[in-house]
Amino acid sequence: MNFRPGRLAKARWRGLQRTFRRHVVPHRRAIFVGLMVFCAGALLLATFSFRHGEKLPGPSGARPGEASVAPAQPFAPPEKSVQPARPTEEATLRPPPPMPPAAAKPAWLRYAVPVPPTSNRTLVAVVLDDLGLDRARTAEAIRLSGPLTLSFMTYASDLAAQTQAARRAGHELLVHVPMEAVDQHADPGPHGLFTALSRDEILERLRWGLGRFDGFVGINNHMGSKFTSDERAMAPVMEELHSRGLVFLDSRTSPSSAGIRLAVAYGVPHAARDVFLDDEQRPAAIDKQLARVEQLARQHGSAIAIGHPHDTTIAALKAWLPLLGEKGLALVPVSAVVRHRMSEEGEVGR
- 189-207, pLDDT tens digit by residue? 999 999 999 999 999 999 9
Cis peptide before 147 (omega within 30 of 0): yes
> Going by DSSP bridges, is the β-strand pair 329-331/122-131 parallel, antiparallel, or unpaired?
parallel
Return the number of other C-beta atoms located less than 10 Å from residue 242's C-beta. Answer: 18
Report the half-sphere exposure of 174 (CA within 13 A, side-chain side).
30
What top-level class would CATH report for the domain 107-344? Answer: alpha beta
What gap in Å lies between CA 268 and CA 258, rounded to an integer? 13
Domain spans of the chain, in order of start? 10-49, 107-344
Share of the chain above pLDDT 70, in %: 69
For the segment 270-290, the average pLDDT, to the nearest whole number, is: 98
| Closest to 206 in 3D by CA, of 217, 192, 185, 220 | 192
The answer to whether the beta carbons of residues 196 and 189 sit under 8 Å apart is no
Mean model confidence pLDDT for the chain: 82
3-state secondary structure of 223: strand
Q: In this predicted model, what pLDDT tens digit does every residue of 129-151 receive, in sequence order?
A: 999 999 999 999 999 999 999 99
